[in-house]
Structure 1
Amino acid sequence: MMRILLVEDEPLFRKGLAKMIAGSEASWEVCGEAENGLVAERLIAELQPDLVVTDIRMPVMDGLELLRSTKAVFPDIEFIVITGFQDFQYAQTALRSGALDLLVKPCSKPDMHEALSKADEFVQKKQMAARKEASERQLLQENALRAVFLRFPYRQEAAAELERELRCSILFVLHVADFLPEDRGYMKRDVPLLQYAVLNIMGELLDVFETWGTLLLIEAGRFALLLPAEASAEEERLLDAACSTVRQLLGLTVLVHNAGHVRSLSELADLYEAALAESAQSRVSADQGGKPEAALPVNRVRQQLIGAQAAALIMAGQAEALQQYLDELIKEMRAMDAEALPIEALSLSFALQDVARKQLEREYEARALTERIGKLNECRSGDEVCAWMKAETERFMQDYEEWQNRYSSNAVLRAVRYIEERYAEQLSLQQVASHVHLNAAYFSHLFKKETGRSFVNFLIDVRMDKAKLLLSNTNLNVTEVSGRVGYDLPNYFAKLFKINTGLSPKEYRKHTTI
């Protein structure tokens, strides 16, 4: 859901804009309103909207100055500028300063919706591109780090960043002693899946133990784990848990060697090779004939990108878009090479499991996942793998629906009570949504659906009702009443009050006390 801040000094026009947006069924929400750029600056820092719709001509601080100052601090916040015909020259300056679009007064509802639709699409594409860029950058870093371990050429521009991240860490070398133990029915073709499962089980445990670390597959069956030096108190528990979990769930033995402290990037290859040399098991493994095979490409970064996109759609409350995204992923993966498809399928499953644990509050169910990996191992065709992925996505969407139902029940009623108790505070949509354990976008959609009003308008109505009581039954002046109901600026409070009641606070008091 795209969160919008309206900035307009004419109250009636601002209210009209809010109604245009609120009357739409699209995923737009007015998260705040301001009467000039100075008030808007404070709200932007507090609310972090996706989009600001602002007039150009305003007192105190105009829209052009607001645009420039905001872009300097929050470059990702987009602007739509509203202008009159006579201000077209200023509008052109606004476009050069980074405004996304222009609207000319008086703008109609279709004009507004067209501009917002374009902005919504632009924001979503930009966010997706940013996530993809971050994932690709991480993949390049991982490839560079792997090259350092193996003494391969690597991008020198990556060296400085890797040096900063890894200096003063501890290197642990982990390897699977044998992928084909006699008590398991694994076959040679199962090794890539098992390797990927081991990598993700260890990655999950890093999250569970809340330990920062860099985990990387170096060669087939050989992994590097870099932990911060200060994590030494927890490292033994983490490594024991990794070995025992892999043994319990997959029947594989993982051996661990402490390679020592990393003082510089150039030491990594020496430490890695020394660790392998000191471990007799690593020199000759049952299935590798004395030399490790090259590892199949394992792109955990793609897995993280899938998880980030799914989490973003959940936070936006876009269930249909989430289902469509997962369906498109399966369709895209269906066209992949038959050898890579099972690993991509497992990647999708691990991504969804991670999102379910972090976003949907699902328990980590390693044994259940192991059973599903077993079913994936049994797949003999691309169609069977795709059917397996479909079952995984259906399970995830069921978890999502259960999570929504669990917190949607009485959520709005609890939110209304919370607002009634704390209306005098600087309440934000995010704060109230957190109180009822819902993400802000989904809560905003649910609140509007059940109350018929946006969160912002509902909060204003509550505050105005309290202000009416204070004006009718106390001797507090307007400034004191404004502060009592949550407004630091009496003039802004007075304008809101007149829009709400048709009377100024003083007129209302006089009218109700006669």
Structure 2
Amino acid sequence: MVLKMIVAEDEQSFREGILTLVDWKLYGIEIAGEAENGKQALEMIHNNPPDLLLTDIRMPFLNGLDLIREAKAAGHEFHSVLLTGYNEFEYAKEAIKLGVSDYLLKPCMPHDIIRVIMDLKQKIEQSENEDKALNAINRSWNRNLHLLKNQILSQWVQHPLMPLEDRSSVMNEVDMTLSCGPIQVGLIRIDSNKSQNVTASKRDLELIRYALLNIAGETLRPLYDGKLEVFRHGDEMLWIGNYPENTTNEAIEGAMKELQLNLEAYLKLSISISISSAAASVDNAHIGYQQAIEAMEARFYQGRGGIFFHAEAGKQTAAKSSILDDAYLHRLEKDLLLALQNEHYEQAVDAIEASMSHIRNNSSYSKAEVHLRSTSLILELQKFAQERKVASIEWQDSFVNWIEQIPNMETLDDCSVVLQKIVQSIVEAVSNQKSLHRTVHATIELIKQKYNTNLTLELAAKETFVSNSYLSSLFKQELGVNFLDYLHQYRVEQSKELLRQSYKIYAVSKLVGYQEERHFSSTFKKWTGLTPRQYQKNYNAG
């Protein structure tokens, strides 16, 4: 450890002796300056603050004690050693007040100066080592305190209050910012789907979650007047905040929208948020957590990127019977399979749309129930498709097994798209064995030429000299997809090439026929399972 030292001494010969008779570098001391009076030394201290000051007491312009006093008053921190004569002990009390570390009686030999300076250097190094150790202990404590808080809060959202448990005292012991009043529990869920081609490392995911919680804390703290704790519970990101007085759902929703904007801006993340009703205190944290989970169920029907309050979730009525006993769905599925067998593909597409519409209108079915029903239907479709040698569909930038995608169906729209793609794949497999109707063929050529314009079903019907309804019906029958969905899929395929060429997303949306970037992004994600940004990132990483 090298220390900087300034020497202030008005006797030139004595000053030069201090500097030349000792090889200070050998002792880990760097001479930062030499001064012949107190005023000059003070300027040196201002310009190049030292660790040590070796100064005479009696000097012109500014004596040694005044030099130390003024330098410390200016905010400089250093250790000082006084050079003093036998008749100058009247300064001793003042020197003690100024925190002078040691003194030397003049005249003195070089080895005396070395001894005092090296003793002081050793004390400085020992003090710094102790400070480092203390800082390390503090950092370790703070890190462990954060982990301890996380563990405690995670336990509270899982379990009700135990007998003799005093959560208010625990909050004080671990320095939580929460108080004993009403609380609200919030749940943050990242909307981004995992890509099979590029999977973030565990370290990357941990860093993302860490950053997300920090941003959530900074953004939401004003809403809760600083009384907020953000934490992890498994892979879920939660917060507990003391319910803000005299506030409205509109004010809370405004803060949540700000959080969504911040995460989009800083981390390029889309999130869904669910929020509990007010609970009496942290003793009821588990109730708030369950309410947040229930509120997040609305995401399945309303889609990603939403803000869901438990009060809204509470309006849903419980299912009177299992989805497996839904007679109307059962009939639609039989119609679907019968239509596929008879090659009435228009009716098959209509049956899929009717099924999804029925489930959406009866949103009392849980996500797990819809997954179960979808799995049952996909197994039936898989049996049928095996005869046509159709084994996979493209989803999230790769060809995948249908059944494997059930857990990834986070919304009803996901279920709808996967089922539509399965039916479309079956129809395409059959259609490849025969020629397309000339009207459909002409319309496909029209789409290839004008997909980047404001092309509509009505315009396409006029160009091919048929009615809107006839063209729509013909498309479903020949391709297993309606006109508009086919147009969207074609635009998405064209946009992929532009994204691979690193075009800006807003530019790509214009080039493939979308006037709004938001509409393009939602359509792209619907038919690929990825946002345009995710697709572009995956391609560049590959």
TM bin, normalised by shorter chain, reads 0.3 to 0.5
Flag the structure with larger Rg.
2
Task: Give the structure-2-normalised TM-score.
Answer: 0.33
Q: Larger relative contact order (C-alpha < 8 A, sep ≥ 6)? A: 1
Greater percentage in helix: 1
Q: TM-score when scaled to structure 1?
A: 0.35
